[in-house]
Structure 1
Amino acid sequence: MNNRMFKSVLLLGFLSFLISSVNAATVEFQVNWPQWAQENRIEFYNTAVDAADRDGDGNTTEIINSNLVTTRYGGENAICVPGFCTLPAVANTSFTQNYVFNNVPSGNYRIVMYDAFGDGWNGGGSLTVLVNGTSIGTVTNTGSVVSTNVFAISDTPTGTTAQTCSDANLTNAWANLGSSPTATAGAIPVSISTSATGPAGWIFTADSMNTINAWSSAAIQGRQSLGVLFEWDPTPGANGSEPVYQAINTDGTANDLDPGGVGTMNISFGGRTVNNAIVHLDRVGGIGAGVSNSARFGVNTAGVTLGRLAGVSHFRTFTNNTLQRNMLVVSANTESSTNTANGTAAGSVVYQGAYSTLSLGLDGIGLEGAGGDGMEMVVCVPQADLSLTKTVNDNSPNVGENVTFTLTVTNNGPDATNNIQVRDILPAELDFVSSTASQGSYNSGSGIWAVGTLANGSSATLNIVVSANTAGVITNQAEIINADRIDPDSEFRSSFATDDLGDGIADDDEASVDINAGVVDVEVTKTSLNDFIPGGSDTYTILVTNAGPSDATGLTVSDNLPSGVTLSGSWTCTPSAGSSCGSASGGSAGGTSVSVTVSVVAGGQVTLTVPVQYSADPTDY
């Protein structure tokens, strides 16, 4: 027969050091004891909770925010708060069993073992404690041991990162609050869908953010917001307000009739792929029966990481991609505050990555009957309206002649954007000669111009020099294929000449230029009417003919007169039908050169008639 009137307390002496900087803490008890009577129990609790009265006198303060491993008959079932047990403690015989507590938030913890004298627990048993799979010690019972022991468990807090988002892209009023709230973030639609397990549920309302300076943008203060009530365990337990848990007995039944639930919130962006959306949160966490509650946000979308932008000190963000209000600090104020001990939490986070739907998992930490978190949110989607233009300096070159394409990419904002890439793959009919970029670099093999970063309102240019190797019409296309901000009126991931958004509006992230390259057979002959006589005069002709098959355009004909020879009058240029001269005549008496631009159709010609005077002084020659 066990004597319950005399209790001994064994405080684990091996836990006399600190364990710090542990990510996503999981605490495991490995129990191997020869006997376990119904009044025996192990308590794993945070020292921020009152531990002065733990002998079952009716004061439940000490078990709030605690994890207990106990018998089913000891009056306190397996309770796992904060976090959830993966295996309940419901044995009253000798056993070997492990108990795992997941998602234990940061804090200082103590482990205490309770027993009554004369019940058979007389040594030979052991308890090993592991934090994140690493043993921090094992105790073997050899008698009554009393000591003070504390160990620390800390999620690693995130540092502050940087991410801008124009206030023009913040959500305002939300509609359709009864089922799936919707709003717009700038030009991008935002919609919310939810699901839940257990008794958890969601309620949405129109609300407005607080006015404290807690966010990465001052525009959040007092802004219209979506009120989100996530209730994970609204029904009190058998003893009134019990810590929320989610454990299953060995007989397959829940330890309580109303175990806590979890929920999922999906934030979708109208089928568009966005990058680095920002979520501003207010009034995270609450209070119930004198103890803080909080919804804990986790990231379900693969490849997405959480970054902290701003927030009060009790707005906790961790490198395991979770956030919550700091637990274990009791507050009676439902308004957000910069005082850790006075108010709910508020702050801004960025979900880094590319996604069309951002899935967040929420689980609750708190009390049954008070298990809920009424918070608020404003979403911002960074956007940059990029446009591309393309020109050519000569759209009718001859085969083998160089032409220059000029590409200009412009950021019309409102946000700056990084990692811009433009693709211009030269067709086989064009040979690459050279390129010059105002910023970044062009790879002629891949056709990628890595532009880099453009601020709102800025532009960058790329000149590509090519030569045509084939006659005919040649099309050169270019398109913006990447940036780390969504383009509100284009889609980088669509193919060229596709209406990106199906809106019937021409896409400004792509450009195309045609040139018509020709093959010509040009011949130039020069004849004179008179013999050379010092002091005499002469008239000679320059005949330019084109045997085709293409028209020859933009030809430059020039002739520099030798020493002692000058123009005796203006020279003239006479084209055949279809051909042309840049100037019908040029030069004047005393000139020493002839130069004109001509175009000669296939089968046509241009004739230059040049009158000259020979110097009578032999020394001029």
Structure 2
Amino acid sequence: MKSLKCKLTAVMVAIGGFLASGAKAATVEFQVDWPQWSQENRIEFYNTAVDAVDRDNDGNTTEIINSNLVTTRYGGENAMCVPGFCSNAATANTPFTQTYTFNNVPAGNYSIVMYDSFGDGWDGGGDVTVFINGVNIGSASVPTTGTSTSVATATFAVSDTATGTTTQTCSNTSLTSAWSNLASSPQATSGSIPVAITTSTTSPASWVFSADTMNTINAWSSTAVQGRQSLGTLFEWDPTPGANGFEPVYQAVNTDGAVNDNDPGGLGTLQISFGGRTVNNAIVHLDRVGGVGGGVANSARWSTNTAGVTLGRLAGVGHFRTFTNNTLFRTMLVQSANTESSTNGANGTAAGSVVYRGQYSSLSLGLDGIGLEGAGGDGMEMVVCVPQSDLSLTQTVSNNAPNVGENITFTLTLVNNGPDGANNIQVRDILPAELDFVSSTASQGSYSSASGVWTVGTVANGNSVTLNIVASPNTATVITNQAEIINADRVDPDSEFRSGFATDDLSDGIADDDESSVDVSAGVVDIAVSKTSVNDFVPGGTDTYTIVVSNSGPSEANGVAISDNLPSGVTLSGSWSCVSSGGASCSAASGGAAGGTSVSLTADIPAGGQVTVTMPVNYSDNPSDF
């Protein structure tokens, strides 16, 4: 095999730029058509950011970027061929097509070179076509030179779409601080919401946890993060150096003794769980993202695995990169001094704050390693903040013992006891069938009598809102009106509105303050009647009958009919009289006359009231009248 090398700048063909948005990392494929094939026909693929240093001492500065489905020629240097064809002998006048696949290629500017410099008869005319995530972005042809040295170089870009900056509040009282159980599953407390970490890896990647302290640079959305206790995490994905000790790689881990072949790469999963509670929009503050190996920055790339969750950037230094494909990492493959958390991308690790927008009880984050072989590790730190609002609901009624058909007003009061404001709040109060809806008035939002939902909206920390519902009982019975909070975009530290009414939400034996009920006794009365006499029965004698009618409530008894037909031989000796007390009233103060045989009147008797009817009577002196 000849050792002749050609310079790679002989022919430059621009393919153009490509925006690989919506993918966690690009898959780059090169379809190469060789007019004639030999084992020396090869390509080079490199990131132009590292083109300034000859890291593998091969006489040029075109350093390659390998990945897990590509075999490297010459012990890890920058010539590549497809596995299974690397040792094919030269075959003159035989065209040959090869496809080179590179997985998990992050954003950056790249060059692809195809060349042959060994005089096997190829004198140009070949071409290379570049595909990114299956999309053909262009081709470059090698001109026919008539010589034994022909080169085609194409340049292109793989880009993710950077996120803009968004906002998300989270009270500093909810920031994690001290962590325990560092040997296996670290645990912390964020306010009243538990925070726990579990991990998994693809061998030989590994995790190590430690207690640490955040830096004091102004890199986070809350200044309270500066100098705060943090969870130190070391994710090591590629401890084995390449053949020359410093080849830049993406997910290239040597697990079987063959360099950069089909090894699975260094993958890890970090899961943040919240004690079974459903939370919204948790914030993760990160420090010291990205390391340095061989003078070049590397990083762990974070992807979001939980369905429906999207990444939002809150703050960070310029080389703390966040993308709309829900990934983040430190800017890679730039010259870097080993300085921690700098605002200068050339000499420090990165730091920043992100929000994972959505609703979840656990958050799964995937990590894969991007960096130099043998330096494939990222020591990071994190502080977690779970936004939370302690919402409470109370209810009163203007009259708990109305008459049937009487309007009464239920007043619902919702208070946000913080520490954060809450949005998208909804309260459900479905009136029972025994109540007819009349009207409603809300201090904020609106109430639908059809669905029973009060759409409240946003309530700031320390504020309260009210809803008045006017209704009328249609049945004489005890009526229970229930109301409960059914939605908010913050977790409630002492309640869980998803548990339903009359459930011990957190199984803590403490009454839940996200629900309320009130009883109304509509038209329900407790009437008691007694009748006594003064004298014993003696024919020809006189007596006085007394009838007492009382109402123990709870409702008012109106139009109570009181009647008494005297027995045979008994007649009134004069008019009867009616005396009321406790707010009661008689339809007549007196009535009847001597010789009468019955008493009839009506009375209105509120709860606690009574009427007393007194009747003077004569007994006949003829025993046969009885």
Q: Please list the CA deviations of residues 381-414 of structure 1 after superposition, one character each: whole Å capped at 9, or x if unmatched.
A: 0010000000000000111111110000000000
Match of 1:238 in 2: 243
Matched, 1:336 2:336: no
Matched, 1:269 2:274: yes
In structure 1, give the amino acid aligned to 2:498: R
Instruction: Assess if the C-alpha contact under 8 Å between 1:519 and 1:548 holds in 2.
Output: no
TM-score by length of 2: 0.79
Match of 1:568 in 2: none
Match of 2:411 in 1: 406
Match of 2:76 in 1: 76
In structure 2, give the amino acid aligned to 1:433: V
Structure 1 CA distance for aligned equivalents of residues 428 and 29 of structure 2: 54
Structure 2 CA distance for aligned equivalents of residues 238 and 360 of structure 1: 32
Matched, 1:119 2:123: no
Structure 2 CA distance for aligned equivalents of residues 409 and 315 of structure 1: 41
Q: Please list the CA deviations of residues 67-126 of structure 1 after superposition, one character each: whole Å capped at 9, or x if unmatched.
A: 69986654337999xxxx9x8685444643433333322222211123114224344543
Residue in structure 1 matching 2:517, options 501, 504, 512: 512
Structure 2 CA distance for aligned equivalents of residues 470 and 155 of structure 1: 66
Match of 1:141 in 2: 142
Q: Return closer, same or farther for 1:311/1:158 CA change in 2, 3 Å cut-off.
A: same
Structure 1 CA distance for aligned equivalents of residues 579 and 479 of structure 2: 29
The DSSP-based 3-state class of the residue aligned with 2:16 is coil
Instruction: Assess if the C-alpha contact under 8 Å between 1:315 and 1:323 holds in 2.
Output: yes
Matched, 1:161 2:166: yes
Matched, 1:475 2:480: yes
Q: Return closer, same or farther for 1:64/1:73 CA change in 2, 3 Å cut-off.
A: closer
In structure 2, give the amino acid aligned to 1:516: S
Instruction: Assess if the C-alpha contact under 8 Å between 2:68 and 2:262 holds in 1.
Output: no
Structure 2 CA distance for aligned equivalents of residues 27 and 359 of structure 1: 27
Instruction: Assess if the C-alpha contact under 8 Å between 1:286 and 1:292 holds in 2.
Output: yes
Instruction: Assess if the C-alpha contact under 8 Å between 2:112 and 2:153 holds in 1.
Output: no
State which drifts further: 240-249 or 370-379.
240-249
Structure 2 CA distance for aligned equivalents of residues 420 and 498 of structure 1: 20
Match of 1:289 in 2: 294
Structure 2 CA distance for aligned equivalents of residues 188 and 36 of structure 1: 64
Match of 1:576 in 2: 580
The DSSP-based 3-state class of the residue aligned with 2:105 is coil
Match of 2:464 in 1: 459
When the two chains are superposed, the root-mean-square deviation of aligned CA atoms in Å is 3.6
Match of 2:47 in 1: 46
Match of 1:298 in 2: 303
Q: Please list the CA deviations of residues 238-265 of structure 1 after superposition, one character each: whole Å capped at 9, or x if unmatched.
A: 332333455699x997646987411000
Q: Return closer, same or farther for 1:549/1:187 CA change in 2, 3 Å cut-off.
A: closer
TM-score by length of 1: 0.80
The DSSP-based 3-state class of the residue aligned with 1:332 is coil
Matched, 1:5 2:4: yes
Instruction: Assess if the C-alpha contact under 8 Å between 2:319 and 2:330 holds in 1.
Output: yes
Q: Please list the CA deviations of residues 422-457 of structure 1 after superposition, one character each: whole Å capped at 9, or x if unmatched.
A: 011111111111111000111111111110000000
Q: Please list the CA deviations of residues 582-620 of structure 1 after superposition, one character each: whole Å capped at 9, or x if unmatched.
A: xxxxxxxxxxxxxxxx7436996599xxxxxxxxxxxxx
Structure 1 CA distance for aligned equivalents of residues 387 and 554 of structure 2: 52
The within-5 A match list for 1:513-528 is 513-518=518-523
Q: What displacement does 1:234 show? A: 1.4
Greater Cα radius of gyration, structure 1 or 2: 2
Instruction: Assess if the C-alpha contact under 8 Å between 2:220 and 2:351 holds in 1.
Output: yes
In structure 2, give the amino acid aligned to 1:138: S
Q: Please list the CA deviations of residues 173-220 of structure 1 after superposition, one character each: whole Å capped at 9, or x if unmatched.
A: 101111110000111111101110121001111100000000000000
Q: Return closer, same or farther for 1:295/1:516 CA change in 2, 3 Å cut-off.
A: same
Match of 2:441 in 1: 436
State which drifts further: 399-408 or 108-117.
108-117
Q: What displacement does 1:6 show? A: 5.3
Matched, 1:29 2:30: yes
Q: Return closer, same or farther for 1:519/1:210 CA change in 2, 3 Å cut-off.
A: closer
Between the two proteins, what is the percent identity of the paired residues?
68
Instruction: Assess if the C-alpha contact under 8 Å between 2:113 and 2:153 holds in 1.
Output: no
Match of 2:362 in 1: 357
Q: Return closer, same or farther for 1:167/1:347 CA change in 2, 3 Å cut-off.
A: same
In structure 2, give the amino acid aligned to 1:63: E
The DSSP-based 3-state class of the residue aligned with 1:7 is coil
The DSSP-based 3-state class of the residue aligned with 1:219 is helix
Match of 2:624 in 1: none
Instruction: Assess if the C-alpha contact under 8 Å between 1:298 and 1:362 holds in 2.
Output: yes
Structure 1 CA distance for aligned equivalents of residues 383 and 213 of structure 2: 9
Instruction: Assess if the C-alpha contact under 8 Å between 1:45 and 1:67 holds in 2.
Output: no
Match of 2:556 in 1: 553
Structure 2 CA distance for aligned equivalents of residues 432 and 33 of structure 1: 82
Q: Return closer, same or farther for 1:602/1:208 CA change in 2, 3 Å cut-off.
A: closer
Structure 1 CA distance for aligned equivalents of residues 372 and 79 of structure 2: 11
Instruction: Assess if the C-alpha contact under 8 Å between 1:233 and 1:259 holds in 2.
Output: no
Structure 2 CA distance for aligned equivalents of residues 184 and 369 of structure 1: 36
Q: Return closer, same or farther for 1:89/1:219 CA change in 2, 3 Å cut-off.
A: farther
Structure 2 CA distance for aligned equivalents of residues 229 and 307 of structure 1: 24
Q: What displacement does 1:127 show? A: 1.6
The DSSP-based 3-state class of the residue aligned with 1:446 is coil
Q: What displacement does 1:519 show? A: 6.7
Instruction: Assess if the C-alpha contact under 8 Å between 1:88 and 1:247 holds in 2.
Output: no
Match of 2:219 in 1: 214
Instruction: Assess if the C-alpha contact under 8 Å between 1:72 and 1:89 holds in 2.
Output: no
State which drifts further: 288-297 or 131-140.
131-140
Q: Return closer, same or farther for 1:72/1:237 CA change in 2, 3 Å cut-off.
A: closer
Q: What displacement does 1:299 show? A: 0.6
Q: What displacement does 1:502 show? A: 0.4
Q: Return closer, same or farther for 1:61/1:51 CA change in 2, 3 Å cut-off.
A: same
Residue in structure 1 matching 2:194, options 166, 182, 189: 189
Instruction: Assess if the C-alpha contact under 8 Å between 1:296 and 1:324 holds in 2.
Output: yes
Match of 1:498 in 2: 503
Residue in structure 1 matching 2:428, options 396, 415, 423: 423
Instruction: Assess if the C-alpha contact under 8 Å between 1:40 and 1:70 holds in 2.
Output: no
Match of 2:104 in 1: 103
Q: What displacement does 1:579 show? A: 5.5
Structure 2 CA distance for aligned equivalents of residues 34 and 248 of structure 1: 34
State which drifts further: 132-141 or 217-226.
132-141
In structure 1, give the amino acid aligned to 2:439: S
Structure 2 CA distance for aligned equivalents of residues 462 and 423 of structure 1: 11
